Structure formats: C-alpha cells, structure tokens
Structure 1
Amino acid sequence: MSNNAEQPKIVPEDDDEPDDWDKRIYSTGCHTEQDKMNDCYYAKKDWRACSKEMEAFRECWKRKGNDERTQTKDA
C-alpha cells in the first residue's frame, strides 16, 4: 500500500545575516584580509603556501589596534 501524502519540503534557512563569528571578524576591521587568508588555505590546503595572506592579516590586525583590544601576544 503506497502513501500518496506529500512530504513537507525542507527549505534551507536564509543565511545572509551575519552571525556572531562574522560580527566579531567585522569588528576587527580586517575581515577582507581574513577572507583572503581563509580562501588561500581552502584552495591550497597548506598554511605555508599562504604566508603572504597571513602577513597581510597580521599587519592589518596590528594596524587596527586589535592586539590591545583582544590581549593578543606574539609568540
């Protein structure tokens, strides 16, 4: 015996709104550099191949004063 009842369709949630993570990244003023760094890693799967992007993010981080704001310390 078959069930002809239509199954409810699952509609994905509209995820255009920034979440808490996005808001924190935007507040650093370095979200563009962070996106480029992540895109590089996603494409190359090796952080060593993304040193230029990592350095641009690090410079932006310091230039925007995030070391003091987040109590970041260089190793």
Structure 2
Amino acid sequence: MSKSESNSQKAAAVEEDDEPDDWDKRIFSTGCSVENMKMTDCYFEKKDWRLCKDEMDNFRKCWKEHQNDKRTETRDA
C-alpha cells in the first residue's frame, strides 16, 4: 500500500466519523444542541457540574422553551 492510499483511507475514516449518529440526531431534534454542547464542554473543562450552573440553566431554559419536557415526559423535581 502506498503512502497516498494509506492517507486516503484515513481521510475516509474521519469523514465517516463526522456523520451524525443517533445520539446527535436526538440532541439536534431538541432545538438545544448549542446549549447542550456548551454545558458538556463546561463539564469537560472543569470536571465539576457545580461550576457549570449558568450553562445548565441555559440548557434547562432552552429545553422548556422548546417544550421538550412535554415531548419526553420529563418533570422538574
């Protein structure tokens, strides 16, 4: 296998990985994918949900605005 063939196979593998999976599709369908990304990025950086309160509140607000609580039958504690 030549070096260019190897590189093209690696590129193809990366392209396949960029396709949205079922999880991504579900998140996008909520209308809150940006808020979800910010919330999970915050946790990834800080490793403590308590430090991501603003991001969690923004996600929760978006979730309610898009009436996802009714669609998914979730309730506030």
Pick the TM interval, shorter chain.
0.7 to 0.9
Per residue, is there more helix in 1 or in 2?
2
TM-score by length of 1: 0.83
Structure whose alpha-carbon radius of gyration is higher: 1
Q: Specify the alignment match of 1:52 in structure 2.
A: 54
Shift of 1:23: 0.1
Q: Runs of 4 or more off by more than 6 Å in structure 1? A: none
Written as runs of structure 1 = structure 2, the 5 A alignment for 1:16-27 is: 16-27=18-29
Supply the AA of the counterpart residue of 1:27.
S
Deviation string 1:16-46 (CA, Å, 9 cap, x unpaired) is 1100000000000000000000000000000
Shift of 1:69: 0.3
Supply the AA of the counterpart residue of 1:16.
D
Two-structure CA RMSD over aligned residues (Å):
1.8
> Is 1:28 aligned to residue 30 of structure 2?
yes
2:66 counterpart (64, 67, 73): 64
Shift of 1:11: 4.0
TM-score by length of 2: 0.81
Q: Identical aligned pairs, as a percentage? A: 61
Tell me the number of residue pairs that the alignment of Structure 1 and Structure 2 aligns. Answer: 70
